[in-house]
Structure 1
């Protein structure tokens, strides 16, 4: 299982189609994380000002039709992520059938992501 973070409104915008975030066009792949702890570190580094509610899609890699490759972050991993951590990059839209759960990001009073529920 891998994780992808997205504002709930964006995820719900076109439920009849596979989900294709802007990064698929700009970076050539969909950014994902390998586990919950890494996902929370990514949220705290890059998504603190994203529209809320913010959710993490829990994806079954085996149900994705697009190729998924684990790669090193460029230039370095976000704070709180160990060096050497590889990030799943999906080279095509996310099949909605691959989504096993949609988990909401929980926040503390200081605006930091603390968990998924």
Structure 2
């Protein structure tokens, strides 16, 4: 018998506790970048520290969302970021709360 292991792809998004609390009230999460750029920035495991250093240095009250990409209702696209020479996951739409499997205060 062959058992296929379903490997769920996990990505992360860093936000403020306030924004996450708003999302819980609304029923979905939208970052300010969604209105400005058309997508929500996300990261793979090895990219989170760099993102924290580049964009969140000195900020407190942060939350890291763990997102199961197989549960995302919005489109997920991996796109090249010329500034850091890496591909990053971008979510083109709101994040449905049931795709967020864990949250961690940073």
Q: Could you state the TM-score of these two structures normalised by the residue count of structure 2?
A: 0.84
Instruction: Output the CA distance in 1 between the equivalents of 2:19 and 2:63.
Output: 10
Match of 1:30 among 30, 40, 54: 40
Q: Could you state the TM-score of these two structures normalised by the residue count of structure 1?
A: 0.76
Aligned residues: 96
1:97 matched residue in structure 2: 98
Higher-strand-fraction structure: 2
Higher-helix-fraction structure: 2
> Structure 1 stretches (4+) deviating beyond 4 angstroms?
none
CA displacement 1:18-74 (0-9 Å, x = unmatched):
111110000100000011x31111011111143x2211100000100000001111x
Aligned-residue CA RMSD in angstroms? 1.3
Higher-Rg member (1/2): 2
Structure 1 residue ranges without an equivalent (≥5):
78-82, 106-117
2:73 matched residue in structure 1: 65
Structure 2 residue ranges without an equivalent (≥5):
1-9
Q: Is the deviation greater in 26-35 or in 7-16?
A: 7-16
